[in-house]
Amino acid sequence: MSDILDDFKGQWDAAKKDSAKQTVSAKDLVAAAQQKMRSAVLMHVGNTAVLVVTLVGICLFFIYVAPLQEVLSHIGMALMIGGLMLRILIEFHSIYRSTKIDLSDTAFAVNKSYMSFYTYRKKIHGSVTIGILIAYTVGFYILLPEFGNYFTQTQIILLALSYLLAAAIFGYSIKMAIRKEVKLLNSLMDIQQEMTDGEGLKG
């Protein structure tokens, strides 16, 4: 190695001698890794559990509180339940895809996998979730006329308004998630650009 790196090489080797010894034992690190894996699983399960509980709650509501009979209401129920079920399936698929990223692969391949994953996430948080939210909202408002058989007018107005509020909060969280994913994607594209600014690549 000639030129400028010769000067750095000496400093690099000297610095290497000063490099720290382990402050954590291998056993503790394994425990930390296991704990981290458990936390990741719990976080994913927690997110999905919220959707599952909502789904179960809605089903119970339609069975015990407001057993709607009209065809239009059945369409509304199908839109709401179907939308939620689709969202749960997508969430499971997303978890599966995230676990498939192998950090011991080449940096180029890992970056590509992350790009593909976050492009997929952006799509989920974007068009897919917005589509599901619209279907869910249409489904909910289709039910309102028959709700008149089970609730007072004031209760129905409150239900409609509280749904609007919940939808607004959910919409905002989608916007934030998309913004985060776009940031990540831009960062990944920058890295990809830095890696590929030469000639031919191997996969």
Partner 1 sequence: MSNNNVLFERLYAEFYPMVHHVCVGFMKGNRELAEDLAQETFINTWRSLDNFKGTSSYKTWIYRITMNTCLKYIRDSKTKNQVPLDQNSKLLSQDSSHQDHGDAHQELYQAIGQLNEIDRLIIMMVLDELEYKEIADVVGISESNLRVKIHRIKKSLKEKLKNE
Q: Where do contacts with partner 1 occur on this chain (CB under 8 A)?
A: 1, 3-5, 8-9, 11-12, 14-16, 18-24, 26-27, 29-30, 32-33, 36-37, 102-111, 114, 180, 183-184, 187-188, 191, 194-203
Minimum Å gap between C-beta 94 and partner 1 is: 17
Q: Residue 21 CB, nearest distance to partner 1 (Å)? A: 8
Tokens of 90: 């997508």
Q: Is 199 helix (H, G, I), strand (E, B) or coil?
A: coil
**Nearest of 79, 83, 88, 54 to residue 138 by alpha carbon:** 79
Which is nearer to partner 1, 10 or 71 (by Cβ)?
10
- Closer to partner 1 by CB, 70 or 105: give it: 105
Least distance from partner 1 to the Cβ atom of residue 154, Å: 43
Q: Could you give the CA distance from residue 151 to residue 154 in angstroms, rounded to a whole number?
A: 8
CA distance 127 to 176: 14
- What's the min distance (Å) between Cβ of 30 and partner 1? 6
Short-list 132, 32, 139, CA closest to 75: 139
